Every structure is written in C-alpha cells, then in structure tokens.
Chains A and B, each alone.
Chain A
Amino acid sequence: MTKHTDTIPETRRRMLGAGSLTISMVGAICFCIILFWVVIALVGPWLAPYPIGKIVSMDVFTSPSRDYLLGTDYLGRDMLSRIILGARYTVGVSIAAAFIACTIGVALGMISAVLGGWFDTIVSRGIDALIAIPHLMFGLVIIAAIGSSLPVLVGTLAFLYFPGSFRIARALAVNINELDFVQVAKARGEGFFYTVREEILPNMIGPVLADFGLRFVFIVLLLSGLSFLGLGVQPPNADWGALVRENVSGLAYGAPAVIMPSLAIASLTISVNLAIDNLPRRLRDRLP
C-alpha cells in the first residue's frame, strides 16, 4: 500500500520557522498524553478507586458524579476503574505486538536488502501477498480457528503488521546499502551481521521509530475493533474496545459509558499520530 507523505521544500520550512514553536508544543502535549497512558497502564491497579468487577451502584449508565467520576456501566460498575484497568490491555498488548512486528519486519527487511538476489525476491513477493490480506478479516479467521487469548492476540496482531514494517525497512535499507560507507565496510571485510547492525541500522533508526508509532496506532485500532466484535480481550477483563461493546446498549440514551472508552482510545491514537507528525524532521526523515 502506498503512503504519501507531504514533503515541504527547504525554503518553505524556513518560512514556517516562526510557527515551529507551536508545532513542537503540540508534539509535547501529545507526548505527555502518551506518557500518561503508559503510566496508567503500569500502575493502574493501585490507582483504580474500585475493584474491576465490583458492582458499586444500583443505577446503570449514570452520568459522572462525585462518587463515580466517569459514571457507571451497564451493570453499575465504576467506569473510571474499568478504563484505568483497560489501559493495561490496550496499551500493553499493542506495544508488545508492535514491538514484535517491527523487530521481525526490520530484521527481515535489512537482511533482504543486504543479501539481495533470489532470497530478496522470494521474501518480497511473499510479503506482498501477505499485505493483500484485509487485517480485520484475517484477525476474525485466526480467532475463529484458535480462539482468543492474550498470546494469540499479540501473535495475530504482530503477524498482520510485520509485512508493512518489512516493506518500509527494506526500502530504507536498500538505499543505505548503496552508500559509500556501507560499501567501504564490506570492502574492508566486515561480516554480514556487523554491516547490518553497525552500518545500516543506526542510519535508519529515526524512520523506523516513526514507523513503530504508526504501527502501534494501527494495532490499537485493530485490537479495539476485534474486542468490539467480542473476539479480543475476554470478560471479565476488558480493554477499551471491549468496554464500548459491553455498553453499546446505552448508546440510544447517549450514556457516557459508551463514549468514555472511545475517547480514551482516540486520545491515545491521535496523540501518537500527531506526535510522529511533529517529531523534528531531522529525526523522522533521517534519510540518506
């Protein structure tokens, strides 16, 4: 799939210089939001005001009040506690899957680019075919075949998103591989793994990190989608997608229990997207 990124010419960028302070402000706010959710995911159980499965109120789908800051859900459970504990699943599973996807994709992409030849051709063609599989649909197929559990979810998400990571890493590595310093390293007899690790990887780390962020967003969205269909994180635990599913019957009354988990997802994914957009260009596009 082709991704178009806007390229701003050098002169234009200088002209935008005055606005760069506000842009990095946006970036800083986004980083704070991301950090906030990561911290919540780590220390959630100590922060949640009520136990996750406890029915605390006789009223269901209530509006926010002093006792229940985000209202209650369809069983009368505290929404705030459920969202705090849901952060563990959404953030944790997604980071794990994105990390595995990027590690496999980048490693394979670099090896493919440096080796070239028939290995590169076969791997690239195979990956092209994998990219042609609609993600959510294939997630359904795997969950239907093996059932849903956390390892299966992480594995499925990683499998679905490593091809994209491979493509970007390979394209970057092919360019870097042609540069003089790589050729020099090869000429002075450096081994294959040294070349990949010391010469190529450090020079593509910026775009790879940006790609990690994008993949994380895709994975959060897909995980939420699967959970929303009831095929992701299973009850009584719930990630943010599952929280929306549980409470969707409150939609007709405009219950906050439906909106709040969606807002949590949106705050995380929009922040990551904007944070990547506002990374210093030197870091993001560190291309030869």
Chain B
Amino acid sequence: MITRMIMARLGVAVLTLLIVSVVVFVATNMLPGDVAQIVLGQAATPEAVAGLRKAMHLDQPAVLRYIFWLGGMMTGNPGTSLVNDVPIVTLIGGRLHNTLLLAAVTAAFSVPIALTLGITAAMWRNTLYDRLVSFATIAVVSVPEFMVATIAVLIFAVHLHWFPALSFANDVHSLGELLRVFAMPVISLSFVVSAQMIRMTRAALIDTLGQPFVEMARLKGAGRVRSVLTHALPNAIGPIANAVALSLSYLLGGVIIIETIFNYPGIAKLMVDGVATRDMPLIQTCAMIFCFGYLALVTVADICAILANPRLRYK
C-alpha cells in the first residue's frame, strides 16, 4: 500500500515536471519577435537569418520544437548561450555547486535552530517566549528577503564589523576566508528559511498537542516537557519533516535575491544576469533546474507525510 502511494506520488511529480516544462517553454516563446533576427542583429542578411532559423529549428512547428527542446534538456544538452556561444552545460557546471553549497550550509545551519525554536515555542505555548518567537517569525516572513539581508548587513558588517558587507567567492584560499565569504549570505538566507520553518514546526506540534492521547498523558500526570517530548513529538515527526522540506523550498526564492545582493557566483545570479541579456536558452535551463529542485523538495515533503502516517500502512 505504502509503496504504491509513494510510486503514485513520484508519478505525479514527473507529470507535474512535464506540465511545468510546457509552461516554461510557452512562456519563453511568447514573444512574437524572431529569435534568429535578434541574435544576428538588424544588419544580418535575410539568407543568414533563414539559415540560423533552420539551425535553431525555428522553422518547425511549436510542438516539434518543444520535443527537441525537452529531448535536449533530458540528455543534458540544453544548447548554447545566445550571448557568448558557450555551451550552457559549461556555464552552469561551474556555478551549480556554489549554489548547492550555499543551500546545504544554510540548511545545516537553520534546521537545528528552527526545530529547537519551533518545538520550544509549542511547548511553552502562549507564554511571553512563545509570543516573542511568533512575532519575530511573522515579522521576518512578512518582509522581503532583501530587507532581511540589508538589515543583516547593517548589523553584522556595518555596525559590528564582523564580516565584509559584500562577498566575492572568486578567490578563496583558507577556511577563514571561506567563512567570511559565506557568512553574510548564509545568515540572511537562514533567517528567511528558519522563520517559515519555526512557524510550521510550531503549528504541526500544536496540532498534535490537541489530540486526545496527549490530553490523556497530561491527565496521567506527565509534565509539560515530558508530554511534548515523549508523547507528542514522535507523532508529529511526519508533519515536522513535511514542514522542514517545504520551508527549504523557500530557499529557491530566497537564493535568487541573496545571490544578487551579495554578488555570489551561483546559478541564481547566472539566471538574473541571463534575464538582463535575454539569453533564453540559459534562462530556460536555469528555470528547469529550479523547478526540479522545488518539486523534489515538495515531493520529499509529501513522501515524509505518507511514511509517517501509520494508518496508511495497514489500509
């Protein structure tokens, strides 16, 4: 039963990715202008334009072009950049691990902190501590990511002088330099992701705390801490894992802003630069990578929820 549900969920994920690829393809081909003309510029001869149109399959119907495009994506050959003729795989290859590293460090940093805060806030619910945590998280969730980053820079770089305001990860030679380069992006991104995670963890645990078996534990005389840690928490693992994976998907939005602010050489910065030069193949590829990452996290979140629900095991 449970294997079938997970397989079904994975099937839905693949189907969703297909639909998303259609949406991305349609969106990037919406402009009525002729890409070949744009690439070659106004001075190009009609023959040259026609030749390039043929080479780029622009003379084919849209459905065929979509299939070519999708095939290229899946075989790891998404084409070449319109701006500097470099294969997109090369452009992205140099940058992808930077972004993944940033995401991994942020996750390693924020997940333990967020879980601790979320669980303790639920444990001492409606106390001053809980209200403070709740207000702080709602404030961080309600403001744009760049504001979190600018405030972090003001505090840690401008006033405390702990880190340089802007980092360039081009020449990193020692652990100390690595720390300095990573510090500001990771701190800013952690705030954004943690706030979401704390809220969802707290809500998930409070949901469980409202159930009869926890009330029973309290009636038997278990204290607040014990009833949360040994009775409620094991039953809330599923929703909490779900919350963690979903919150991590906020990394994808945050990383675009954070990489731009701190001039961090990851693929989000690459994509934003691509938008400025209208480098469509590059944008499409980055977009699909982002959608894939997002979908993977959301799917993991759902699978956690399936795995953690014991009722599903015996249906």
A interface residues (Cβ-Cβ under 8 A, vs B): 1-2, 4-7, 9, 126, 128-130, 132-138, 140-146, 217, 221, 224-225, 228-231, 241, 244, 248, 251-254, 258-259, 262, 265-266, 269-270, 272-274, 277
Q: Secondary structure at chain A's binding surface: helix, strand, loop or mixed?
A: helix
| Contact present for A228 and B207 (CB under 8 Å) | no
CB nearest neighbor in A for B257 = A225
Query: Quick check: is B92 within 8 A (CB to CB) of the other chain?
Result: no
| Contact present for A269 and B142 (CB under 8 Å) | yes
Taking the closest CB of chain B, its distance from the CB of A114, in whole angstroms, is 25
Query: Quick check: is B83 within 8 A (CB to CB) of the other chain?
Result: no
For A138, list chain B residues within 8 Å (CB): 23-24, 27, 287
Interface residues in B, total, Cβ within 8 A:
65
| Contact present for A140 and B144 (CB under 8 Å) | no
CB nearest neighbor in B for A247 = B150
For B139, list chain A residues within 8 Å (CB): 266, 270
Q: List 10 A-B contacts (CB under 8 A).
A: A4-B243, A130-B23, A134-B249, A144-B28, A144-B275, A145-B30, A225-B144, A225-B256, A244-B150, A265-B143
Bound-state CA distance A265–B100 (Å) is 30
| Contact present for A224 and B144 (CB under 8 Å) | yes
Taking the closest CB of chain A, its distance from the CB of B83, in whole angstroms, is 12
Bound-state CA distance A221–B138 (Å) is 14
The total number of A-B Cβ pairs within 8 Å is: 160
| Contact present for B158 and A254 (CB under 8 Å) | yes
Bound-state CA distance A25–B141 (Å) is 22
Which one of A146, A228, A252, A277 contacts B31 once the chains associate, using CB atoms below 8 Å?
A146
Interface residues of B in 36-64 (CB under 8 A from A): none
| Contact present for A141 and B154 (CB under 8 Å) | no
Bound-state CA distance A241–B16 (Å) is 32
Taking the closest CB of chain A, its distance from the CB of B165, in whole angstroms, is 5
Taking the closest CB of chain A, its distance from the CB of B242, in whole angstroms, is 7
For B276, list chain A residues within 8 Å (CB): 230
| Contact present for B295 and A132 (CB under 8 Å) | yes
Q: A134-B291, A262-B147 are in contact. Are A140 and B210 (CB under 8 A)?
A: no
Query: Quick check: is B246 within 8 A (CB to CB) of the other chain?
Result: yes
| Contact present for B144 and A137 (CB under 8 Å) | no
Q: A4-B203, A128-B16, A132-B295 are in contact. Are A143 and B144 (CB under 8 A)?
A: no
CB nearest neighbor in B for A140 = B275
Bound-state CA distance A258–B149 (Å) is 12
